[in-house]
Amino acid sequence: MGGGDNAPLQSDAPNHGHMARTLTPLPRHLSSGAFPVRAAYAHGLTRHMLEHERFVAPHRGLRRLSDPHAPTAGREADVAHRLARDYAPLLRQGEAFSHATALLLLGVPIHCSVGLHVTAPLPLAQARGRNVRGHRTQAPFTPELSAHGLLCVPPLMALLQSAPTLSFRELVIAIDSLICIGSRKPFVSRTELTSNIERYSGRGAAVLRAALCVAREGAESRMESLMHFELARMGIDTLELQVELFDAQGKWIGRFDLADRARKLVVEYDGEQHRTNRAQYLRDEQRLEAVRAAGYRVLRLHSEDFQACNLPRTRARLCSVLGVRPQPVDPHLAQYFAVE
């Protein structure tokens, strides 16, 4: 695309010999995402021009420029964002993206089957469209904007809607994210969340309550949630989350994912930034050297440690470093851990 207000679009004029094809400007606001066909007509584009191979039709009555790099697989959040952007012009007054779609758009780091859920307030009919799952509700709600400007149902409503379809682990991760009190304001307080979940009697209520028992307020990423989830599975989820540690002279060393002050143990997740950001990698190495100098042992975990085939080894390592054995878990929680 060009750098001005309009992006060139090939017209339907034929190309005879070496004659240059006529270019018709495409308004910039139509080139940034999906747009209604009627809006294109209003700007002088013709039906024939919209049939050009540069366009795709994500839904009936919509077009957008073809993007060969658009995510069709990979990170769920990226795919959900693309699907939602493609459908956004069709949202009616009061409608919003909902269920797991809304959670992903709001930045909740769940893993799930990516679909497009849209909830409409009664008396509107259910949303329809390609790969769209429409829902209706009589519960009043005020849509909220995602970081990318997409309308979503409130986070708490999205969580309750997702309870029947998300696994126990993913519900714990979702709750962790919603009540996180770390580097950003939580989407919802734990008190408000608890009150709503206790009153909730719809599908998935039991597993949602179990997930609330396991969730923690300090987990700031999916991997931090997975680390404390595995400790909870073994009945030893006693480490502090997002801990600030100091040396013997009271000098601040840094903040760490999980820590046991009594045993002088730190558990850290080495994320993708350690491979892609050299400066961040060096800062983290200095921080870990400083905490070791203060007498702490450090256990570093990676994404591979949480793949299903490696989980038994990861659990054994956690127990070994902590110097503890797995403890019995309450039966009502054990039944959910057993299926993960």
pTM of the model: 0.84
3-state secondary structure of 234: coil
pLDDT at 24: 60
Separation between Cα atoms, residue 96 and residue 105, nearest integer Å: 11
Strand partners, 117: 133
Is the model's pLDDT at 182 over the cut of 90? no
pLDDT at 5: 46
3-state secondary structure of 260: strand
Q: What is the average pLDDT across 2-8?
A: 45
Q: What is the average pLDDT across 136-160?
A: 96
Is the model's pLDDT at 293 over the cut of 50? yes
Cβ–Cβ under 8 Å, residues 127 and 115: no
**Cα-flanking dihedrals φ and ψ of residue 259, to 5°?**
-150, 150
Q: What is the average pLDDT across 287-301?
A: 95
Separation between Cα atoms, residue 212 and residue 216, nearest integer Å: 8
To 5 degrees, how large is the angle CA 66–CA 71–CA 75?
A: 165
Is the model's pLDDT at 174 over the cut of 50? yes
Per-residue b or e along 37-57, where b marks 16 or more CB atoms closer than 10 Å to that residue's CB: beebeeeebeeebbeeeebee
Which candidate, 298, 290, 286, places its Cα nearest to that of 249? 290
- The dihedral built from the CA positions of residue 270, 291, 319 and 230, taken in this order, carries a sign that is negative
Instruction: Rounding to the nearest 10 degrees, give the CA dihedral for residues 255, 256, 257, 262.
Output: -120
Q: Which token pair is 153?
A: 């149902």
pLDDT at 243: 93
Is the model's pLDDT at 137 over the cut of 80? yes
pLDDT at 284: 85
pLDDT at 181: 75
Encode pLDDT of 206-240 as tens digits: 999 999 999 999 999 999 999 999 999 999 999 99
Question: For the chain, how many residues are written?
Answer: 340
